[in-house]
Structure 1
Amino acid sequence: MESYQQLYQRVVERKGGEQVVEGLLSKPLNTKQLKRVSADQWLEEFTRKIFQSGFYWQVIDNKWPGFREVFWDFNVARLLQMPAEMLEQKATDERIVRNFNKVKTIPLNAAMIHFHQQDHGQGFSDFIADHPPERIIELWAHLKKHGARLGGNTGVYALRMLGKDTFILSRDVEAHLRGHGIIDTGIQSQKAQRDAQNFFNDLQQQSGRSLQELSQLVAFSAGDNHAGLDVK
């Protein structure tokens, strides 16, 4: 298996130097910072990623001020008191992307966040913050099981956006993992996720870097993202 140093050196060569690479990397929030993320922020980001899934992200971002107006800035407590008929009305509002199946996830995920303390003995932000990165796929599974439409990469991208340390099984990351024989099953299978977790845990032990940085490095090492090309 390729070592961290081999991986890093290849990225440096592809991107045009160590300084360039380091400038491209971003880091997650620390535990204390994550615990300050509010329930409303979690619900908003889950909803944004649900609507972006299978859609042009920029279209959703452009309409997001309308989403915030329609859904009261994603106030969890207020949304949980909303009657079903009002939700149906909001789903037809022209300020949002009118997809009732996705709109229905908002009160469901609000309930997951709000009742986490009651169901699991710990507030939702504390739960996210305290979950060990070396078992991050267990957190993915929790969101998929207890949330609405948070499976696949949807919940994972929300975690990344709000600062939780996680790797992401993007197309470039998948290409690297398959190319090096680390995974050989469907990318969303439990086996593939376990193998990916073990791979990133090993890189973390070698480098001391976060999963987020390592995930970015792996992505930069594969695909069409050489020096001079815009990489998102």
Structure 2
Amino acid sequence: MRSFSDLLDTAVLHKGSLKKIESTLPVPASAEELQAKPNSFFLSVMSKRVFQAGLKHSMVEQRWPHFEKAFDGFDPVQAAMLSDSDIDDLMSNKDLIRHLGKMKSVRNNASMVLEVCREYGNFGTFLAQWPSDDIVGLWTYLKKVGTQLGGMSGSRFLRMAGKDTFLLTNDVVQVLKAEGVVEKVPSSQKELKATQAVFNQWAEESGRPLCQVSRIVSYTVMAEVLT
């Protein structure tokens, strides 16, 4: 398996310079920053990611102020108390994206947020305390306990919320396959743990957070004309 330094050299070759790469890298939130965010922030971001799945992201962004208003700022207590009649009313709101399954996921995920808060005090503390060297374990938790947070939605929610995570984009999976880590998109616990181990190794070698390792790895397979 290639070292991270070799991967970075390839990424620099594709992007033109290390400076260009650095300017595009995500920066994860600190533990303190995650803990300072209100629970409504996490439910809003979580819900936005659910609605983005399979849809044009710009369209969801454009509609999101209407969602914030319709869901009263995504207060988890209020969202968890939504009745089926309330959901029906939301489904009749033409300013929203009227997908019943995704609409119901807001209520279900609000209940998950509240359950986590009963143990950790707030959702941000829960995320902050989850070790990044087992981020796939957090993906599994969100998929199991949450609603419509499987596939890429769990990891993308975490990235949007500021929690350090790598992403299994097509480019990243291509590299993992080339390095003999997996044969397909990781889905089993064995495949996910093998993937985590590789990212842990690259993160330790580089001193970078997982999100930056992930982005740089993706650049190694980008075919573009250098200018």
**TM exceeding 0.5:** yes
Name 1:23's counterpart in structure 2.
Answer: 23
User: Are the equivalent residues in 1 in contact too, given 2:43–2:76 (CA < 8 A)?
Assistant: yes
The offset of 1:67, in angstroms, is 1.2
Name 1:83's counterpart in structure 2.
Answer: 83
Name 1:219's counterpart in structure 2.
Answer: 218
In 1, Cα distance between the equivalents of 2:120 and 2:7? 41
User: Are the equivalent residues in 2 in contact too, given 1:167–1:215 (CA < 8 A)?
Assistant: yes
Q: State the identity as a percent.
A: 29
Name 1:172's counterpart in structure 2.
Answer: 171
Matched, 1:149 2:148: yes
Name 2:57's counterpart in structure 1.
Answer: 57
Name 2:13's counterpart in structure 1.
Answer: 13
* Structure 2 segments unaligned to the other structure (5+ residues): none
C-alpha RMSD of matched pairs (Å):
1.5
The offset of 1:194, in angstroms, is 1.2
> For residues 7 and 186 of structure 1, do their structure 2 counterparts lie closer, same or farther at Cα, with a shift above 3 Å needed?
closer
> For residues 209 and 52 of structure 1, do their structure 2 counterparts lie closer, same or farther at Cα, with a shift above 3 Å needed?
same
In 2, Cα distance between the equivalents of 1:112 and 1:85? 21
The offset of 1:121, in angstroms, is 5.0
| SS of match in other structure, 2:36 | coil
* Structure 1 segments unaligned to the other structure (5+ residues): none
User: Are the equivalent residues in 1 in contact too, given 2:28–2:209 (CA < 8 A)?
Assistant: yes
Residue-by-residue CA offset, 1:24-43 (whole Å, 9 max, x unaligned): 21210111111112111111
TM-score, with structure 1 as normaliser: 0.93
> For residues 121 and 163 of structure 1, do their structure 2 counterparts lie closer, same or farther at Cα, with a shift above 3 Å needed?
closer
Name 2:125's counterpart in structure 1.
Answer: 126
User: Are the equivalent residues in 2 in contact too, given 1:53–1:154 (CA < 8 A)?
Assistant: yes
Residue-by-residue CA offset, 1:64-117 (whole Å, 9 max, x unaligned): 111111111111122223322111111221011110111000110001001213
> For residues 122 and 77 of structure 1, do their structure 2 counterparts lie closer, same or farther at Cα, with a shift above 3 Å needed?
closer
How many residues of Structure 1 are paired with residues of Structure 2 in the alignment?
227
TM-score, with structure 2 as normaliser: 0.95
The one-letter code sitting in structure 2 at the alignment partner of 1:126 is: T
Name 1:105's counterpart in structure 2.
Answer: 105
User: Are the equivalent residues in 2 in contact too, given 1:185–1:191 (CA < 8 A)?
Assistant: no
In 1, Cα distance between the equivalents of 2:218 and 2:113? 31
User: Are the equivalent residues in 2 in contact too, given 1:70–1:95 (CA < 8 A)?
Assistant: no
